[in-house]
Each structure stands twice: as structure tokens, then as C-alpha cells.
Amino acid sequence: MAINKKTAVITGGAQGIGLCLVKEFLRTGYNVAAADIDAEAGAELKASLKAGCGLLFLKCDVSSEKDVRLFMEAAAKKFKSIDVLVNNAGIGINRPVEELSLNEWNRVIGVNLTGAFLCSRQAAKHLRTTRGNIINIASTRGLMSEKNTEAYSASKGGILSLTHALAVSLGPDIRVNSISPGWIEVSDWKKKNDFKVPVHSQADREQHPAGRVGTPYDIAEAALFLASKKAGFITGQNFVIDGGMTKKMIYV
């Protein structure tokens, strides 16, 4: 660990896209403070990396104001600065709207949307000092929907609006952008008990104009770009990374 390096704070960092984000930010020279509610997955993350690699992992429920405050304080104390915040933590509860309970609705909104707000608010004072940036992981479900995704789609639509609102409120000190992934295969980026080898049919691949299903690396590369000085004139924007699916007209 070197305290003069830049620091990225990444939520939902123990599995899926978040795990790839953590490893890629570490690989490119960042210190990384990673939060996840799954302590087992977090332990596997730490075990997979060399000691002294620049990782801090803490169990954190991003819908909890107290948890978020303690996590950000720990990250700032250990690494002395925060340069990038990636609001990646997210869950989905998909069921028919008539059967979706208020508690389930509130849990999804709490993690996916309120969590991004809480983390952004807590990190803002640090990001102003470093003239850093926030990257929100939204979803193409904020732009289009499948059946029975009301809570998830609403939360991701909220992320899109939160992104441009924060960009206006926090600029010019802090840039804020979002990434909307489409189908990103994460079954091989899970903890050991949930790990699966991906299997995609020809139809799975060919339905994408890009000719394949996405990988977490597709999202991590975009996040690294947005975090860099090369993206210094980009703020308030949403980047759709879905192999072209949202531009494809589909008729039955």
C-alpha cells in the first residue's frame, strides 16, 4: 500500500461487476476501499490478493447511513484521500407487481438508489479536495424493461436522474457520470458457493449487435476511463454498454 496513490471506493465490490472493478482498479495502481454486505465473499476477495496490495475491505450495508459513514471514514483514514467513488452495490427482487411487498420495494430502492445517495453525500467532502469523480452503475433497465422489474427499474431510473443532478450540484469540483450495463455475464465472478461456468447459446450471442454477451471487463474499462483525466470534460452523462441491444428494433 502506498498512501500517495489515488484511492477508489467501490461498493458491492466482492462479487460480479464490482469484483472486477476492484481488481482492475488495483491492477492499474489505485488503492481500493471495497464494501459489500456479503462478508463471505469479501473474505474470498481478500484471500485472492497478495498482502499489501492496497485493498481495504469492510462489510457494509449501503442503505444504512451509519454503515456508510463508518466505511467512508475508514477509507479516508487508511488511504488519506478519496479520488473516485463507484456506486455499484445493487440488488433485484423481481416478482409480479401485485405480489411485490412494500418491504421488498423499499429494500431495492434503499440499496440501489438511497445507497448511491448516501455514499455520494459522505464522499463529497473528500472528492472536493481531490477534484475527484463519482461513477454510478445504473442499468439499461433504467431505459427499458422486462416484466416484473418495477423496483429494480425504478431504482436504476433514479440513478440516471441522480447522476445528472449530482453533476450539476457538485461541479466543477467533482465530475459525476453513470454506466448502464446491459447483459453482463457475472456467473463466473461469484463467490465459490455460487460460481458457475457461463454457457451461452449462439442465439444469446447473435441477438447482440456486437455478437457476444458482455463481461465485467467491459464495464471496468469504461469506469477506468471515466475516472481518468482523459474524461475531464465529461460529466452528467450516462454511458450505455450493452452490445447495442437498446438500439435494436425487435418484432415478434
Least Cα distance to 8 among 78, 99, 89, 81 occurs for: 81
Q: Three-state DSSP class for 134?
A: strand
Instruction: Please answer whether residues 155 and 143 qualify as being in contact, where contact means their C-beta atoms are separated by less than 8 angstroms.
Output: no
- Is 17 within a domain? yes
- Is 252 within a domain? no
- Is 242 within a domain? yes
Task: Kindly give the confidence (pLDDT) of every residue in the chain, 252 residues in length, as a single tens digit, with 9 standing for 90 and above.
Answer: 455 599 999 999 999 999 999 999 999 999 999 999 999 999 999 999 998 999 999 999 999 999 999 999 999 999 999 999 999 999 999 999 999 999 999 999 999 999 999 999 999 999 999 999 999 999 999 999 999 999 999 999 999 999 999 999 999 999 999 999 999 999 999 999 999 999 999 999 999 999 999 999 999 999 999 999 999 999 999 999 999 999 998 887
Burial status of residue 230 (CB atoms within 10 A of its CB: 0-12, 13-18, 19 or more): exposed
Q: According to the model, what pLDDT value does residue 4 have?
A: 59
Instruction: Please answer whether residues 14 and 7 qualify as being in contact, where contact means their C-beta atoms are separated by less than 8 angstroms.
Output: no
Gyration radius (Cα) of the chain, Å: 18
Q: According to the model, what pLDDT value does residue 250 have?
A: 84
Q: According to the model, what pLDDT value does residue 252 have?
A: 79
Q: What is the CATH number of the domain that holds 86?
A: 3.40.50.720
236 grid coordinates: 452528467
- Is 2 within a domain? no
54 grid coordinates: 492496497
Burial status of residue 69 (CB atoms within 10 A of its CB: 0-12, 13-18, 19 or more): middle
- Is 1 within a domain? no
Least Cα distance to 78 among 59, 56, 46, 62 occurs for: 56
Query: How many residues can be counted in the chain?
Result: 252
- Segments forming the whole domain that contains residue 166: 7-247
Q: Which are the catalytic amino acids?
A: 152
Number of domains in the chain: 1
- Is 181 within a domain? yes
164 grid coordinates: 445528472
Q: According to the model, what pLDDT value does residue 220 have?
A: 98
